Structure 1
Amino acid sequence: MIQILLIYRFEFSEQFINLVYTAKDVLRLLKVAAIQLQAYPSQRETNINNCIQMVEEAAKQGAELIVLPELWISGYYLSKEEFQLFGEAPTGKTVGLFQDLAKNLGTVLVVPFVEVENEQLFIALAVIETTGEVITTYRKAFLWGREKDIFTPGERVFNPVETSKGKIGVLICADIEFPEPSRILALQGADLIVVPSVWSYGAETRWDIQLPARALDNTVFILGVNTVNEGSCGKSKLVAPNGEVLCEAPRDETSILIHDVDFSLIPKTRIDVPYLDDLDKDLYPATIKTKLPV
């Protein structure tokens, strides 16, 4: 049974907000959804059917940005030969299916897939606009453990993507364990960083620490999206710019986590916690000496 968690923020009074924000900042909300599903190993059609059902339900509940977990279509513990059966180009069948879905539902979708190019495999994702257009793809930069024997890492280039729902950053699983990628995305104006993952029970403490830490480090929202079973700890979560966990899915249950992202919290948090204003950019290479967005 799919559990749907609808959790909404308490809004500040308009009087209070106007003391802090300009009019353009007030109550800019985005309803996001994390699809926490069980990935059945090598069962492509089962995984696709389950995923589509959950995405459609999330859209029915009003989600405007829907994020799937890493390797949802294949499962995690496969051999290289088994993963090769799932390898596709970004123009392949799986992404194409979700292009149609995004257009039909009028949502932005973040869809991880197994990419193949020149016989090399990548853990990748596509960001699909409400029009059905793939506006960017991204390859996981930091591979973990056994992944290094199967996949090729992507280039360590981290650029946010401008969507109709806002400027978002995309990372995959272990990418969030390093402070630099999320910092680079934040300095380029990402308000929300989404992190499709397969995160294990053994690393559960890091999941609980690192997502809030990256959110607070950079005063941005972080949406971590995990699988369940097959050794994954679930607990997909949305974290506020001050590091507060706003909502969290259960540890072991298939769930749709839906929550409003209130972007007006970002400028307020940056007044209280001016990490990025106080950042000494001389400590960083020129590639991330980027002016903090207003």
Structure 2
Amino acid sequence: MLSNFGIAGVQMQISAFSSNVEQMGNYMRYIRMRYPWVKMVMFSELAPLGPKHSTAEALPSQTEAQLADLANETGLWLITGSLFERVEDEEKGSIVYNTLSVIDPNGEIVTRYRKLFPFRPYEKNVEGGTEFCIFDVPEVGRFGVSICYDMWFPETTRTLAAMGAEVILHPTMTDSIDRDVELAIARASAVQNQVYFIDINGVGDGGVGQSIVVDPSGYVLHQSGAGPEIIPIEVDFERVRRERRRGLRTLGQPLKSFRDRDCDFTVYEKGNPAFTYLDTLGTLAKPEN
């Protein structure tokens, strides 16, 4: 199996008022020419069509097909960021998910992932997904996917790691003043789960930039500024596997300790009377005053 694998995150200027797919294609062609060792390209959350619900499409869609053609043209694995997916549900009617597609170098859709935790109450009228997402690159290793607010819930990354993910691909669209907190969460997520954590934000209508890549020892491999940027990095899968065997910086072994724990996490039992405090916090709504 190959140990090293090249991934390029693209911190791109995103427009909320027009398609960004052509710009994504130009980045992919440039990366293919400039960095021939890169095998996968990843964009930020809602990169293809921007953050407007009116762009929601039923999948498979024309936009997804355009992105698949780009993957096939360039021979790159493509992590699309995400787009709004419209679904007709018998009980709920027309609903919207925030959905990411994983596309292989032949232009085939490998899997799709629906964001588990929409940024409520600010990400309004978006349903949360219910399934975790991992996929394998043959002869390389296993990847896990999450989107933006998902990482604020450490159970999401822990679950992906327990499913064998060695690299977490995490597109985000953070345009708010809490980006500094997310940088800390990204680093913590990497060390708690002994993974590479690749967090790619957009700029313009797509965020404030400051993408970050963290290795399984918690070292920051790169942190971006606020402008457009290509972030080509090489992940070392054998490094992940060695650290999981021997320990973080040859010290703590959090995945093994989690596996061998003595406690049960009863906080996850819905309706458990030991945790009624959570019911006192009020409704999930924007503050009015």
Check whether TM > 0.5. yes
What is the rounded CA distance, in whole Å, between the counterparts of 1:264 and 1:163 in structure 2? 15
Does structure 2 conserve the Cα–Cα contact (< 8 Å) formed by 1:171 and 1:195? yes
Does structure 2 conserve the Cα–Cα contact (< 8 Å) formed by 1:34 and 1:256? yes
- The match for 2:64 is 95
Does 2:111 correspond to 1:136? Answer: yes
- The match for 1:40 is 15
Gaps of 5+ in 2: 89-93, 269-289
- The match for 1:16 is none
Does 1 or 2 have the higher relative contact order (CA < 8 Å, sep 6+)?
Answer: 1
Q: Which runs of 4+ in 1 moved over 3 A?
A: 145-148
Q: CA deviation at 1:59?
A: 2.3
Q: Identify which of 170, 185, 193 aligns with 1:218.
A: 193
- The match for 2:279 is none
SS at match of 2:178: helix
Does structure 2 conserve the Cα–Cα contact (< 8 Å) formed by 1:89 and 1:115? yes
TM-score computed with the length of structure 2 as normaliser: 0.81
- The match for 1:182 is 157
* Deviation readout 1:144-171 (Å, 9 max, x if unpaired): 135542211111x214112235310000
Does structure 1 conserve the Cα–Cα contact (< 8 Å) formed by 2:50 and 2:206? no
What is the rounded CA distance, in whole Å, between the counterparts of 2:46 and 2:150 in structure 1? 15
TM-score computed with the length of structure 1 as normaliser: 0.80
Q: CA deviation at 1:102?
A: 1.1
- The match for 2:136 is 162
* Deviation readout 1:5-61 (Å, 9 max, x if unpaired): xxxxxxxxxxxxxxxxxxx6xx710100111111111211xx122111112212221
Does structure 1 conserve the Cα–Cα contact (< 8 Å) formed by 2:183 and 2:212? no
Q: CA deviation at 1:283?
A: 2.8
Does structure 1 conserve the Cα–Cα contact (< 8 Å) formed by 2:97 and 2:127? yes
SS at match of 2:234: strand
Measured on the aligned residues, the alpha-carbon RMSD in Å equals 2.0
Does 2:89 correspond to 1:114? Answer: no
- The match for 1:18 is none
Q: Matched residue pairs, number?
A: 251
- The match for 2:243 is 269
What is the rounded CA distance, in whole Å, between the counterparts of 1:259 and 1:231 in structure 2? 22
Name the aligned partner's letter for residue 182 of structure 2: W
Gaps of 5+ in 1: 1-23, 288-294
